[in-house]
Amino acid sequence: MTTPIHEKILLEGLKEGNEKIFDYIFHYYYSGLVVFVQKYVPDQDVAKDIVQALFVKLWIARAELGISSSLKSYLFSSVKNRCIDYLRHEATKGKVEKKLIERLSEISDERNLLVESELRDKINTAMGKLPPVCREVFYLNRFEGLKPAEIAEKKEISVRTVETHIGKALKILRVELAGYLPSSLIALVLGAM
C-alpha cells in the first residue's frame, strides 16, 4: 500500500463506489485507527465509534473526496480531528452538566427553604389555635426542652396535667397539619420540636 499507484487505484475505486475496495480499506486501517484514537480517548468503545463514524462519512462522501495526501495520512488526520471534536464536546458537556447540577441544587435548596418556611408558618398558626396554658406547656416541652416534671414544678401543676396538655397539643397539631404533611412526617416534626 505504500506505492502511489496502489493508493491511486484504491482512491479511484472508492470514489466509484466499489464496495470491495471500501471493505479492503476498512479492514486494512480499522484496528490501527482504533489504537491511534485510544491515545486521545482511552475508552475503547468510544474509539471504535469514532473510527466507524469516519468510515461511514468516507463512504457517504466518497464521490467528493479530495484527498491530496496519502489515504493513510487523510484517515489518521481525519480521525485525529474527530478526537479533538469529541474531547471538546465532552468538555463542554461536562461544564454544562456541572452548571445544571449546581442550578438544580440551588433550586432544591430554595424549594427546601420555602417548604421549611411554610411548615414553620403552619406550625405557628396551629400553635396559635391551642388554648393558652396548653400552648405554653407544649412550648416549654418541645422548644425549651423541659421535662414534664420541670414544667409541673415551674407552672405549679401536676405532672399528669402537664402530660395531658402535651397530649392535647399533639392531637390538635396533628389535625391542623394533616393536610400539609403525611402522618409519618407529622410525628417526626412534632417529635423533633
pLDDT tens, residue by residue, 147-178: 999 999 999 999 999 999 988 988 888 888 77
Mean pLDDT of 87-104: 76
Confidence check: pLDDT of 87 > 80: yes
* Residue 129 cell numbers, joined: 389555635
pLDDT attached to residue 160:
95
pLDDT tens per residue across span 6-24:
788 888 888 888 899 889 9
pLDDT tens per residue across span 46-67:
999 999 999 999 898 888 877 7
165-177 CB burial, b ≥16 within 10 A, e <16? bbebbbebbeebb
Q: How sure is the predictor about 2, in pLDDT bands with cuts at 50, 70 and 90?
A: very low
Q: How sure is the predictor about 117, in pLDDT bands with cuts at 50, 70 and 90?
A: confident
pLDDT attached to residue 45:
93
Cα-only R_g, the chain: 37
Q: How long a stretch of residues is the chain? A: 193
pLDDT attached to residue 7:
80
DSSP state of 130: S
Better-predicted residue by pLDDT, 135 or 115: 135
pLDDT attached to residue 3:
42
CB 122 within 8 A of CB 177: yes
pLDDT attached to residue 1:
41
